[in-house]
């Protein structure tokens, strides 16, 4: 199905950055069109990374916490209320005819062609559209080990997470022994953060040397609450409803052991969802979109804006992503006005 009309602005992605961009663009009468992603996809899932989180306690305005999926459903409803449209497998829908809410069957983006304006965007189920401006808010997915029990407990709030800053302060982790997997700056940062709540934090690293910067590595080594377990990988996660231990394998001897822990945090890097861009936008060496003026949302292609984790590997918070979504919508609105396109 092909829509002949050129859209003012197409938003790709539906985490806090995407919906916030949609709320602002809709309220500016730009009638934004969103490709939210596809639930079965391994990368751009409707609602983004927060759909994989349990309680969110650090987003302002929710004094009693909110679950990640509830918060995303609320953002979705707010965006739809002001006239945002979304691309589903049944074509473009508005709030009024979307009974499934954020759990509707949406389309993901297959490709974005920025070689000429208006830009051409193809969905993964036949939908095609052109747009004067595009906001990319596809996020970054946390890397996981890929173990079956790791995924099961991560998805059911069983004490396995890929974000210590998001989940580490939850009551379930208080005064427990916890473990962080990884040897980079994130792993050290997360382990250090968790020492505020944990009785002890194990840093499990697969080599005998940290990848983290020296200052961060020294911080971990000198923290009395952190014990680094060298040359170890996690080969299984143990626990029915909640994690009780991890199975470790020594990378040098192959020896296996069980380590009792009440929480497990992955810090083995993130992968930004930028593969569909096919090298058309400037990316940094890790694949994140480069914002030439870091305070703004402009990318290397005029008329294409970026917001949220896809352009930010430093903060990666729901609230910072939402703030960037707001900036992208305002930048796009002004850009369209300057060009006389809306």
Active site residues: 163, 166-167
Helix or strand or coil: residue 8?
Answer: strand
Residues contacting 159, CB < 8 A, separation 6+: 153, 172, 173, 239, 242, 243, 262, 263, 264
* Number of Cβ within a 10 Å radius of residue 149: 18
Provide φ and ψ at 112, rounded to 5°.
Answer: -125, 125
Residues contacting 293, CB < 8 A, separation 6+: none
Specify whether the CB–CB gap between 89 and 127 falls below 8 A: no
Helix or strand or coil: residue 327?
Answer: helix
**Considering the complex, what minimum distance in angstroms separates the CB of residue 246 from ligand NAP?**
12
Task: Give the nearer residue to ligand NAP in terms of CB position, either 18 or 272.
Answer: 272
Site residues for ligand NAP per CB under 6 A: 145, 181-187, 189, 206-207, 211, 233, 267-269, 313
Task: Give the nearer residue to ligand NAP in terms of CB position, either 235 or 275.
Answer: 235
Specify whether the CB–CB gap between 203 and 226 falls below 8 A: yes
Helix or strand or coil: residue 133?
Answer: strand
Where does residue 247 fall: left (phi above 0), alpha (psi -120 to 50 degrees), or beta otherwise? Answer: beta
**Considering the complex, what minimum distance in angstroms separates the CB of residue 235 from ligand NAP?**
10
Task: Report which residue's Cβ sits closest to ligand NAP.
Answer: 184
Task: Give the nearer residue to ligand NAP in terms of CB position, either 33 or 234.
Answer: 234
**Considering the complex, what minimum distance in angstroms separates the CB of residue 308 from ligand NAP?**
16
**Considering the complex, what minimum distance in angstroms separates the CB of residue 56 from ligand NAP?**
20
Task: Give the nearer residue to ligand NAP in terms of CB position, either 247 or 313.
Answer: 313
Dist CA 187 CA 220 (whole Å): 9
Task: Give the nearer residue to ligand NAP in terms of CB position, either 123 or 184.
Answer: 184
Dist CA 11 CA 18 (whole Å): 6
If 0-12 CB within 10 Å is exposed, 13-18 middle and 19+ buried, where does residue 116 land? exposed
Dist CA 84 CA 29 (whole Å): 9
Task: Give the nearer residue to ligand NAP in terms of CB position, either 10 or 188.
Answer: 188
Q: What is the 3-state secondary structure (H, E, C) of 166-178?
A: HHCCCHHHCCCEE
Dist CA 135 CA 305 (whole Å): 5
């Amino acid at each position: 199905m092909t829509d002949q009309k050129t859209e003012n602005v197409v938003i790709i992605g539906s985490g806090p950055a995407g919906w916030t961009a949609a709320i602002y663009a809709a309220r500016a009468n730009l009638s934004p069109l969103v490709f939210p992603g596809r639930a079965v996809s391994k990368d751009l899932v409707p609602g983004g990374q927060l759909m994989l989180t349990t309680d969110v306690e650090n987003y302002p305005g929710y004094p009693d916490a909110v679950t990640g999926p509830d918060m995303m459903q609320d953002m979705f409803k707010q965006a739809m209320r002001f006239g945002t449209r979304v691309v589903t497998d049944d074509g473009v829908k508005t709030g009024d005819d979307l009974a499934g809410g954020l759990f509707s069957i949406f389309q993901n983006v297959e490709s974005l062609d920025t070689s000429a304006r208006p830009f051409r965007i193809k969905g993964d189920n036949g939908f095609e559209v052109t747009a004067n401006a595009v906001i990319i808010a596809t996020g970054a997915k946390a890397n996981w080990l890929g173990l079956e029990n790791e995924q099961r407990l991560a998805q059911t709030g069983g004490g396995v997470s890929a974000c210590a800053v998001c989940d580490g302060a939850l009551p379930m982790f208080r005064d427990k022994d916890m473990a962080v997997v990884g040897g980079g700056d994130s792993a050290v940062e997360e382990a250090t953060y968790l020492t505020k709540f944990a009785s002890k934090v194990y840093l499990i690293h697969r080599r005998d040397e940290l990848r983290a910067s020296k200052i961060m590595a020294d911080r971990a080594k000198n923290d009395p609450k952190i014990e680094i377990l060298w040359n170890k990988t996690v080969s299984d996660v143990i626990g029915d409803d909640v994690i009780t231990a991890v199975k470790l394998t020594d990378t040098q001897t192959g020896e296996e052991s069980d380590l009792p822990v009440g929480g497990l945090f992955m810090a083995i890097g993130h992968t930004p969802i930028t593969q569909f861009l096919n090298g058309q936008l400037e990316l940094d060496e890790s694949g994140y979109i480069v914002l030439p003026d870091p305070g703004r949302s402009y990318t290397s292609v005029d008329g294409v804006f970026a917001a949220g984790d896809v352009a930010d590997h430093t903060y990666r918070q729901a609230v910072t992503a939402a703030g960037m979504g707001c900036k992208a919508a305002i930048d796009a609105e002004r850009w369209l006005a300057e060009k006389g396109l809306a």
